[in-house]
Structure 1
Amino acid sequence: MVRAVSLLSAHEGRPVRDVLILSAEQRRLPSGIVTGLRGTEIALTLPAGTRLRQDDILLLDDGGIVDIVARPEPLLEVRTADLVSLARAAWLLGDHHIPVEIHGRYLRLMHTEAAANLLRPLGASVRVIEAPFEPEGGAYEHSGDNEV
């Protein structure tokens, strides 16, 4: 079994050994042993706080690389009549500590009936879709470039 030890910014001319298709939760807290599409068993031994995103590239301890793909998941897509209402919906979800992916005209979040019921009184249009989920990092996740 190989170990994933760090992230790369590019393939650097190396062939891709395997592809990991991971849920949002698996990408948020990458740990344990996972199996790639080509059958490679990989121990995720990344530094604490590492978060994986769509199109990330993992470096393995033997020099190989693995591509990361975000698994499509059941999500709620939230649309409102105007941006003020959308901001209210985003605030309400954040106030309930619900991870949200923010787009210019809509929000996405994991599909739960509780979240859908929370949004309906705002007059939001809520529909179930299946798509990769890339939620915002939140107050306690730092990328290193915007330290407060």
Structure 2
Amino acid sequence: MIRVKAVKLAGTWTGKPIARVTLDREDRYRRRAVLSADNGTSFLLDEPTAVHLRHGDCLELEDGTFIEVVAKCEDLVDITAGDSAHLIKIAWHLGNRHLPTQLLGNTLRIRRDHVIESMVEQLGGRLVPVSAPFDPEGGAYGRGQTHGHGHHGHSHG
């Protein structure tokens, strides 16, 4: 199976891709995976550590060809508030629940979740459902992912 030789960041590569691979947020954060492009080309991503692929990045294959990364649209919700104090409070509550959150200026973007959406409305947030690529912040420890609950000694109950 042909392998990815290099990951090139969006805006840093030139050339014409032979195909595109469309991936959701989870599938764009991988160390090792067999992927299939839209033209049927299968290839192996095998990196020493997990990489966070972003929309417009390029995967250079061993044969010198390129596969362009496309971020798949997902069911999300944009959150705004009447003022920055309310938006900061909402952001704190989302962070306290370790929810992947994308920061878009005066808007927060999360995955659709009726329980969280209800909480946001109770905190004074306004919700607008969207279908868009999801590229949340990587968290304090980076690497494109937020962390799980096994890292500290208190409960979120």
Task: Report the TM range for the smaller structure's normalisation.
Answer: 0.7 to 0.9
Looking at structure 2, the residues matched to 118 and 29 of structure 1 have their Cα atoms a distance apart, in angstroms, of: 31
Looking at structure 2, the residues matched to 114 and 44 of structure 1 have their Cα atoms a distance apart, in angstroms, of: 36
Which residue is 1:7 aligned to?
A: 7
Q: Which runs of 4+ in 1 moved over 6 A?
A: none
Looking at structure 2, the residues matched to 46 and 114 of structure 1 have their Cα atoms a distance apart, in angstroms, of: 37
Task: State the one-letter code of the partner of 1:2.
Answer: I
1:140, distance to aligned residue in structure 2 (A) = 1.5
CA 1:140–1:78: 2 relative to 1, 3 Å: same
Which residue is 1:100 aligned to?
A: 101
Looking at structure 2, the residues matched to 139 and 127 of structure 1 have their Cα atoms a distance apart, in angstroms, of: 27
Looking at structure 2, the residues matched to 58 and 74 of structure 1 have their Cα atoms a distance apart, in angstroms, of: 26
Deviates more, 1:22-31 or 1:78-87: 22-31
1:138, distance to aligned residue in structure 2 (A) = 0.7
Q: CA RMSD in A?
A: 1.7
Task: State the one-letter code of the partner of 2:2.
Answer: V
The 5-angstrom pairing of residues 41-120 of structure 1 reads 41-120=42-121
Looking at structure 2, the residues matched to 86 and 129 of structure 1 have their Cα atoms a distance apart, in angstroms, of: 18
Looking at structure 2, the residues matched to 30 and 100 of structure 1 have their Cα atoms a distance apart, in angstroms, of: 22
Which residue is 1:38 aligned to?
A: 39
Which residue is 1:124 aligned to?
A: 125
Write 1 or 2 for the structure with the bigger share of strand: 2
1:125, distance to aligned residue in structure 2 (A) = 0.8
1:64, distance to aligned residue in structure 2 (A) = 1.4
CA deviation string 1:65-100 (max 9, x = no partner): 111111000001111001111111111101100000
Q: Normalising by the residue count of structure 2, what TM-score does the alignment of the two structures yield?
A: 0.83
Q: Normalising by the residue count of structure 1, what TM-score does the alignment of the two structures yield?
A: 0.87
Percentage of identical aligned residues = 30
